Structure 1
Amino acid sequence: MTGTLPDLTTEPSHFAADSRHWHPFTPYSDEVHLKVFTADVARNETAVMLRAEAGAQLGVHDHFGRVLAYTLRGRWSYAEHDWVSGPGDFVYEVANSQHTLVADPAEDIEMFIYVEGPIHFLGADGEIVGIETARTFADRYLRFCLDNGYPAPELNPY
């Protein structure tokens, strides 16, 4: 058998600051906005920026994979823990952790987040009220772009 092998080299992907748009993280919160950079549906991994208004909360949720968060602006915490994350702080969340994000009431927050696996949002009685995956992050963002006249970005550039 003769022929050439396909070129399997990969190049880094670059996303200009204005290549993505903030959109509300509904139905979970109108005070929390996301900017989706990548959503790899095959690996169920998502890279996003999260911005929240001062004092905003993002309801109780369960992570089934790791979550890596780097705080860029503001201060935030989890209602279930006694630490506070500020600019330059890094938070490593293990799989199967459950918490409630709370933005400090003094200023808006902004952070970079890398999510592996699904997230279950929980209601007052611990029931699942929503499931987020790379697919749902991508679908919500692409719908937002379509509804607002923005070009649909490539969310899985690999």
Structure 2
Amino acid sequence: MMYESIDTAVINDEDLPWVPFAPYSEEVFIKYIKCDPIRGETITLLKAPAGTTLPKHHHSGTVIVYTIKGAWKYIEHDWVSKVGGVVFETAGTSHTPIALAEYGDEIVTLNITQGDLLYYDEHDNICAIENWKTGVQRYRAFCEANGIEAKDITSFSV
């Protein structure tokens, strides 16, 4: 197939479920829009209650985060990303995200992540690795457990 014959497609977020970000949190939800095995990239929405601190993690690739609702920051930085804020994270960085309560009841972000996220435990030991493949596994397991027909989130033609 040549690139000229690839059709443009749309993915409507209401066609995809919010999936609990287990085992890290039952209050944080991920909506997997795209998990690209070719580029090792995920495109997700993340939703978390205000006041939630997510686990510290390290990026092997770049991450772009657009804030749709609420506000958040990294404990290790002074800046705050509010609605409309765009954060560009370079490969090789580590940080701990927190959803800020003074800007509303929850945060929602759009995330474009390349490569692996290495999650740390309280002793800074790597305890988990997240990437496009674990995203597909979490999404499919959630769909199966809830009687939802899984879409092919590895393709834009869902």
Shorter-chain TM range is: over 0.9
Number of residue-to-residue matches in the alignment: 153
Q: Which residue of 2 aligns with 1:156?
A: 154
- 1:29 partner SS: coil
**Which is strand-richer, 1 or 2?**
1
Q: Which amino acid aligns with 1:115?
A: T
Note the aligned Cα RMSD (angstroms): 1.2
TM-score (norm 1): 0.92
TM-score (norm 2): 0.92
Q: Which residue of 2 aligns with 1:8?
A: 3
- Give the CA deviation at 1:124: 1.2
Equivalent of residue 25 in structure 1, options 17, 21, 29: 21
Q: Which residue of 1 aligns with 2:58?
A: 62
Whole-angstrom CA distance in 2 between matches of 1:8 and 1:15: 19
Q: Which residue of 2 aligns with 1:145?
A: 143
Whole-angstrom CA distance in 2 between matches of 1:128 and 1:74: 29
Q: Which residue of 2 aligns with 1:111?
A: 109
Q: Which amino acid aligns with 1:95?
A: A
Q: Which amino acid aligns with 1:8?
A: Y
Unaligned residue ranges in structure 1 (runs of 5+): 1-5
Equivalent of residue 37 in structure 1, options 12, 29, 33: 33
Moved over 4 A (4+): none
- Give the CA deviation at 1:30: 1.7
- Give the CA deviation at 1:142: 1.0
Q: Which amino acid aligns with 1:44?
A: G
C-alpha contact (below 8 Å) 2:13/2:33 kept by paired residues: no
Q: Which residue of 2 aligns with 1:85?
A: 81
Unaligned residue ranges in structure 2 (runs of 5+): none
Whole-angstrom CA distance in 2 between matches of 1:124 and 1:112: 27
Larger radius of gyration: 1
Q: Which amino acid aligns with 1:82?
A: D
- 1:52 partner SS: strand
Whole-angstrom CA distance in 2 between matches of 1:12 and 1:74: 31
Q: Which amino acid aligns with 1:100?
A: T
Identity %: 35
Q: Which amino acid aligns with 2:111?
A: I
Q: Which residue of 2 aligns with 1:123?
A: 121
Q: Which amino acid aligns with 1:149?
A: G
Work out whether 1:74 is the aligned partner of 2:57: no
